[in-house]
Amino acid sequence: MPEGPLVRKFHHLISPFVGQQVVKTGGSSKKLQPAGLQSLWLQDTQVRLVLYFGGGGFLAFYNCQMSWSSSPVVTPACDILSEKFHRGQALEALGQAQPVCYTLLDQRYFSGLGNIIKNEVLYRAGIHPLSLGSVLSAPRREALVDHVVEFSTAWLQGKFQGRPQHTQVYQKDQCPAGHQVMKEAFGPPGGFRRLTWWCPQCQPQLSEEPERRQVS
């Protein structure tokens, strides 16, 4: 799964082709016939096939899934790098009684959030990946969403400025505090398991009872 900042940078680079007409095609795709795209107009780019444009430029798409869509299908409410990102929806999802590391990778609520971002924001928020969202206080869930947006935005800015992204626990043996980092694959039952890095000392697993809503 490509991380949001990488996809967004790609989107930025190809956006000048929006509004141009395809005058020639090349490459191959199992789902689409590239020749069928000739003479069409690029209406939108959603963040790989070769499209040549009248202005002399071209786009090359590598190792991607292609599908026909009559209109743009962007849902900015779940895009972690969108100004229209719906924090309330994300916070509600994080309150589920399941490990937060599962919820963070749910693209219905955190589109563009991949494994690197998952590991890094959980460490920065001091949250164990297997802590149930239902035991996290509202302020901790708010802080976690803040870290998601801040880390992703900083990564994107670094990409444009040519700066490498430095991680604190992802693929590390020790955290910045010098503690040993643990590694294990976690995933929902019957779902895809992703390697997860965390510091048991900086990210203790919560055992409190789920926070209860007061009934008035």
CB 210 within 8 A of CB 135: yes
What is the per-residue pLDDT for 26? Answer: 75
- Triad 177, 110, 88: Cα angle to 5°: 100
What is the per-residue pLDDT for 12? Answer: 66
Spans in the chain with pLDDT lower than 70: 1-14, 28-31, 44-47, 49-50, 58-74, 208-216
**In angstroms, how far is CA 38 from the centroid of its own chain?**
32
What is the per-residue pLDDT for 216? Answer: 40
What is the per-residue pLDDT for 74? Answer: 56
Strands 58-60 and 182-186: unpaired
What is the per-residue pLDDT for 60? Answer: 65
Q: Domain coordinates of the chain in residue numbers?
A: 21-26+45-66, 87-198
pTM: 0.69
What is the per-residue pLDDT for 142? Answer: 98
Fold of 87-198: Helicase, Ruva Protein; domain 3 (1.10.8)
Q: Distance between CA 12 and CA 30 in Å, rounded?
A: 26
Chain segment 52-69, per-residue pLDDT in tens: 788 878 666 655 566 666
What is the per-residue pLDDT for 50? Answer: 65
CB 5 within 8 A of CB 121: no
What is the per-residue pLDDT for 64? Answer: 59
What is the per-residue pLDDT for 3? Answer: 57
Q: In 10 A of CB 51, how many CB atoms?
A: 24
The C-alpha torsion from 127 through 131 and 133 to 139, rounded to 10°, is -30
